[in-house]
Amino acid sequence: MSLRLIARDLYRRQQEVDRLEKELSGALPAQRDPLKRRLARAKAEREAMRRILDGRLDR
């Protein structure tokens, strides 16, 4: 995967995290648990992409 594609994917994942955080802040209590799980998954995916990008930049 090229650096450009990795960076683009990282950007998309960051946008998803931002969107979920905003959604969570205005969510009803009954909606919070599923949103928290989705947010945790999105953050994990974002961090994985960040580690991949950092690894590619270290070369």
pTM of the model: 0.88
* Residue 2, phi then psi, degrees to nearest 5: -75, 160
Residue 1 reports pLDDT greater than 90? no
CA distances from 6 to 14, 18, 46 (A): 12, 18, 11
pLDDT in tens, 4-42: 999 999 999 999 999 999 999 999 999 999 999 999 999
pLDDT of residue 31: 95
